[in-house]
Amino acid sequence: MKKIGWIGLGKCGLPIAEAINKSYNVVAYDLLQKQSEVYTDDIVNLLDADVTFVLVETPHINKNLDGSIPIDLSTVEDYDYTALKSVLLDLSNNQYKGIVVVSSTVSPGTIQKLSQKYNDLRIVYMPVMIHIGSVARDFISSPSYYIGTQDPQVFDQVSTIMRSLCPDTVIKQGTYEEVEMWKMFGNIFSSVKIAFANTISEMIEYGNFNASSWNIMEALLNEKQNFNTTAYLTPGSGNGGPCHPRDGVVLSWLTDELKMQSQLLKNITQVRQDQALALAKHLVSYNLPIIILGKSFKQGVDLTVGSYSVLVGEYCNDLGASVTYDDTKTESSVVLLAHPNKELLEKYQPAQQSVIVDLWNLGIPNAKVWGNNLHNG
């Protein structure tokens, strides 16, 4: 039976290691003695494993940042990687030759730094989406795993093990940073959904409205064309039109009018503007005239009410840039493709040496794809 190493037998690591032990010979190490058939008191006993999983805690040094008491957001900090670094150092000092699969929670950019520091180790990042109380079941029945490595052979080895444990799972390969962000933004996505639903409850209570948040959420989830769907879950332009921005404005006003505690609705409107400003600053940074292709609020209509393209253009003007829409210039420019339509480039034919900024990842040669900084293109 194939041998698998495991390091970290806490509230998550122990049940997973024991579950994997039903299919593989698991040898598990932890700094604290554990009552388990998989436990070994010496890390040397797992050095001949082809793959070793590492699931040690990465807590905050400040224990008051766990969310159980009010948090002063001016004091926030990264996770504490002391235990993780100690494990990697032990493996390095013992000249471990297998694959190290780190599953601990880390912030984006961490695994790249650790792989450079411990460059004799073959480090992979594969977080686990599990819930306390059903850890082993969640690990075995997870619908997907995202494995961070640039080495196709390493990916094949790890994915082979995961498919043997979870036959129905979908396994995808990504960069370290993609997988780190997938883990953290997955949790934040859940948090946003919870905050969204609870904001409805708060508004009902503060406004003493004749309404039920449960009825409203049920009605929203029944609407599968716009709301309970994957629509609007791809990067691109910001929202616009005669409804979305204006509804956000009114709900921002109502948040203040009712003196609500939570600021989610106001923040959504502010974030839309902040993201438009961030994009405008990028366009202006090229020090070229700016052409925005797609002035209307969405493709296929002429209406510019609430247009995100116009909002970006206004910020560009405020920053001192020259902006035109749906225009042809003979001089080199920075061209923002605001609508997901490559034919706009053929129609307006930007001058040679122009910089194309693509919001939609349309596969335009030599374009700057906003939100795609993969080093291999």
Measuring CA to CA, which residue among 49, 126, 123 is closest to residue 89? 123
pLDDT on residue 189: 93
- By the 10 Å C-beta count (0-12 exposed, 13-18 middle, 19+ buried), 290 is classed as buried
pLDDT at residue 377 in the model:
41
- Conformational region of residue 67, where left means phi above 0, alpha means psi within -120 to 50, and beta covers everything else: left
Quickly count: other Cβ atoms within 10 Å of residue 12's Cβ: 22
Number of residues that this document lists for the chain: 377
Q: 298 with 282: CB under 8 angstroms?
A: no
pLDDT at residue number 362: 95
CA distance 195 to 187: 12
Q: What is the pLDDT of residue 34?
A: 87
First to last CA, the chain: 41
Looking at domain 234-377, does it have CATH number 3.40.50.720? yes
Question: Is residue 85 within 8 Å of residue 37, measured between CB atoms?
Answer: no
CB atoms within 10 A of CB 237: 25
Q: How confident is the model at residue 364, as a pLDDT?
A: 94
Give the pLDDT score at 375.
Answer: 65
Helix 110-117 vs helix 82-93: angle between axes, to the nearest 10 degrees? 30
Domains 3-174 and 234-377 share a fold: yes
- pLDDT of res. 1: 67
pLDDT for position 352? 86
Per-residue pLDDT of the chain (377 residues; tens, 9 = 90+): 699 999 999 999 999 999 999 999 999 999 888 889 999 999 999 999 999 999 999 999 888 888 888 888 888 899 999 999 999 999 999 999 999 999 999 999 999 999 999 999 999 999 999 988 899 999 999 999 999 999 999 999 999 999 999 999 999 999 999 999 999 999 999 999 999 999 999 999 999 999 999 999 999 999 988 888 888 888 999 999 999 999 999 999 999 999 999 999 999 999 999 999 999 999 999 999 999 999 999 999 999 999 999 999 999 999 999 999 998 878 999 999 999 999 999 999 999 899 999 999 999 999 999 999 886 44
Domain residue limits, the chain: 3-174, 234-377
Q: What is the DSSP string of 180-201?
A: HHHHHHHHHHHHHHHHHHHHHH
Residue whose structure tokens are 């609407």: 223
pTM for the structure as a whole? 0.89
Looking at the domain that runs over 3-174, which CATH code has it been given?
A: 3.40.50.720
Structure tokens at 169: 């799972």
